[in-house]
Amino acid sequence: MFIYEKKLQYPVNIKTPNPKLAKLIITQYGGPDGELGASMRYLSQRFTMPMPELKGTLTDIGTEELNHLEMIGAIVYQLTKNLTEEQIKAAGFEDYFVDHTTGIYPQSASGVPWTAAGMQSKGDAITDLHENMAAEQKARSTYDNILRFCDDYDVKDAIRFLRAREVVHYQRFGENLRLLTDKLDSKNFYAFNPEFDKACFRNKK
């Protein structure tokens, strides 16, 4: 279960609205490599994941992604606060505005609503851990791309924090994969699905 703390993981204090930038950053709220997908991916995969260390990692990183989702929501909220109709027009924000006004909606930068089709819970620990390492790198690339279009220090500061977390999570999932393969037959890690063919943990030579 979860307990809410009435604070962000890292502060977001944006003084200057920028709806054009908000339309790009929303992709980390509900886009293909965004924080919502990351959280759902890890919190779903963990139910059938073998080994206590792996269950712990998925629970804790899946929860941290919810912190990041909230930070992205705060960034988009602050970038679109108190807009005038002129500012909306000048920034090309009308297309988002007609559907959601300035509400926070999980969609990609190109307007595609959040979909679970962008994530996987394969029920195979080797496959899922590779998916997770790839997901962290994809999110890191997205933050790098976002940073190309940021010139406001307050936005950059929060985005850089989030980018750094992708790198740390990648590291932890790499360690998960090593912990797992250490328990498997080194002659052929792929002979069994470690989540389904549980006997494989007993077969180790």
* Interface contacts to another protein, rule CB under 8 A: 3-13, 53, 56-57, 60-61, 64, 70, 73-74, 77-78, 168, 172, 175-176, 179
To the nearest whole angstrom, how small is the minimum distance from the Cβ of residue 60 to another protein? 5
To the nearest whole angstrom, how small is the minimum distance from the Cβ of residue 117 to another protein? 28
**Greatest Cα pair distance in the chain:** 70
To the nearest whole angstrom, how small is the minimum distance from the Cβ of residue 197 to another protein? 24
To the nearest whole angstrom, how small is the minimum distance from the Cβ of residue 16 to another protein? 13
Residue closer to another protein by CB (options 32, 184) is: 184
To the nearest whole angstrom, how small is the minimum distance from the Cβ of residue 36 to another protein? 16
**Distance of alpha carbon 149 from alpha carbon 152, whole angstroms:** 9
Residue closer to another protein by CB (options 77, 201) is: 77
